A and B are shown apart, each in its own frame.
Chain A
Amino acid sequence: MALPRITSPHAKGSNRTQQVMLQVLLATVPGILALTWLFGAGTLINLLWASACALGFEAAILALRKRPVLFFLKDYSVLVTAVLLALALPPYSPWWLTLVATGFAVVFGKQLYGGLGQNPFNPAMLGYVVVLISFPVEMTSWPAPHTVGLLEGLQQILGIANLPDGWAQATALDALKVNKSLTIDELWAQHPAFGYLGGAATEAVNLAFLAGGLYLLHKRLFTWHAPVGMLAGLAVMSLLFWNGSGSDSNGSPLFHLLTGATMLGAFFIVTDPVSGATSNLGRLIFGIGVGVLVYVIRAWGGYPDGVAFAVLLMNLAAPTIDYYTRPRTYGHRKPTRGFKLGE
């Protein structure tokens, strides 16, 4: 095939799926380092095991579906799912928990809908929610920072020997949720490991994810609309319902922005181009919805953190958001909403 010679400038495109996925993987490195520094090697073991499981499941189901296995494995999208899932799971979750979560994410969340680009829900969050609902004890066992060594951590993951009782502690969101009598200052004084703002020193983790997210934003892998929408929605809600440091307080806006999975969600989950909204306005609405729902679940829901549930709920709403935010077509005065017959 002869290509026509065209004049400069020749812009080199770098938006192939593989490149995009590699950039996302690279951007998770600060967060991985922060988690490893805090909780020990469990994060890394989890990461490797989740990636191996995800690759295995993806290869198996691609073969079952009679698709080219290597071609789809090489786009690294399944690795991104596995890494995001492993970062969301507790660092010392047992091996079978990670296996179930990745299996569900890859097989039910992604491939049964038709593979990359066809899934209505974020696969990583789907896998996370499945194990969160099924195994609440294991999913809420976060260790205190700097306590678990490599060997005992590995034994815990493999189920050979259990860590000594009381190795797991409540996260700040947990403690805040069950707290009925203490003021915020008293609560924090009881838990020295909570750090300054985010709780359990997760502000460091959140800042690391923020750094990775800003790198992706700088690389223009996504627009600012969805993350800013989510952070703004969460901040405004927590400001509106913040009543100082009383015992019925739900925490300050800064606390909510820097705790739990806020930054991981804002820059790595709601920016998912497949399961989110498509237009810029739509992304903004999608992000705001996630932010508001995260606060609603944290403050009044049954679970301490709500990023995964909020994202799945807004995934459900994404087609409707797209329907009402179609951009104006050039040459038309008003945007056409919805789909016309014969289109």
Chain B
Amino acid sequence: MASYREIVVNSLWKNNPGLVQLLGLCPLLGVSNSVVNALGMGLATALVLACSNAAVSLIRNAVTDAVRLPAFVMIIAALTTCTELLMQAFTYELYQILGIFIPLITTNCIILGRAEAFAAKNKVSHAAFDGLMMGIGFGLVMVVIGAVRELLGTGALFANMQLLFGPIAANWQLTLLSDYKGFLLAILPPGAFLVLGLLVAGKNRIDEHLEAKAKAQEPEAPVQSRRVRVTGVIE
């Protein structure tokens, strides 16, 4: 049984769905062209993931192995529909921008993957927490990619945040580089692949560095005589 702390470390870093498992690449690459799109998509995914993990964990003893996958998919599809209706009600413009990617949350492999690998084997509280954390881990990667692409592509950050937070956020836009030509490639699909690749490389580099550091701190094993001893002690 994993502790809450382990779940947090696992979801956000060690087994991050975006950087390590590389699951759910379709929305991760498809709608991460600005912070607001990425944040909206990340929140929707996290909501579905947390609820579906809790629901799957609730029914884990009632559903037989043979029909578990259809049952999981039904739950996920129902929750996705709920999320879609919520977005239609409260963030209609963002819902229109994200378009097909919202119903496609159903087919996001992270959600079915967590249902199968974690929720079906753990109690409700752990499963729901795991879903929430995995969703946040996924959303964070997406927001970082979105921020890098928006900054490189347009020279500004947090444009159109009112789509998600209402009229208060209308002037949240930060124009960091004025008179900037706009690196169009970052906004286009290849930019998503490039930024994701660089993020994965960066994470691996940090891991390597931490590993080397941990190794350096370990006490070295005492050097023993390398001579093959046949009898007794030679000295």
Contacts and interface: CB of A to CB of B under 8 A. Distances in A.
A135 B180 CA distance: 11
B194 A134 contact: no
B78 interface: no
Interface string A125-161: 0000010011110100000000000000000000000
A134 B71 CA distance: 46
A108 interface: yes
Contacts of B188: 133
Nearest to B181: A135
Interface string B167-193: 000000000000001111110100000
Contacts, number: 16
A64 to B, nearest CB: 11
A222 to B, nearest CB: 30
Nearest to B184: A134
A108 B194 contact: yes
Contacts of A136: 184
A133 B185 contact: yes
A133 B183 CA distance: 9
Quick one: which of A133, A134, A135, A136 has the most chain B CB within 10 A?
A: A134
Interface residues of B, number: 8
User: Binding site of A, secondary structure by majority: helix, strand, loop or mixed?
Assistant: helix
Interface in B184-220: 184-186, 188, 194
A136 B181 CA distance: 11
Contacts of A138: 181
Nearest to A100: B183
Nearest to A108: B194
A100 B182 CA distance: 12
Nearest to A94: B181
A138 B183 CA distance: 12
A133 B184 contact: yes
B7 to A, nearest CB: 34
Contacts of B186: 134
Interface in B52-85: none
Contacts of A108: 194
Contacts of A130: 185
Interface of A: 100, 108, 130, 133-136, 138
Given A100-B183, A134-B183, A138-B181, 13 more contacts: A108-B194, A130-B185, A133-B184, A133-B185, A133-B188, A134-B182, A134-B184, A134-B185, A134-B186, A135-B181, A135-B183, A135-B184, A136-B184
16 contacts: A100-B183, A108-B194, A130-B185, A133-B184, A133-B185, A133-B188, A134-B182, A134-B183, A134-B184, A134-B185, A134-B186, A135-B181, A135-B183, A135-B184, A136-B184, A138-B181
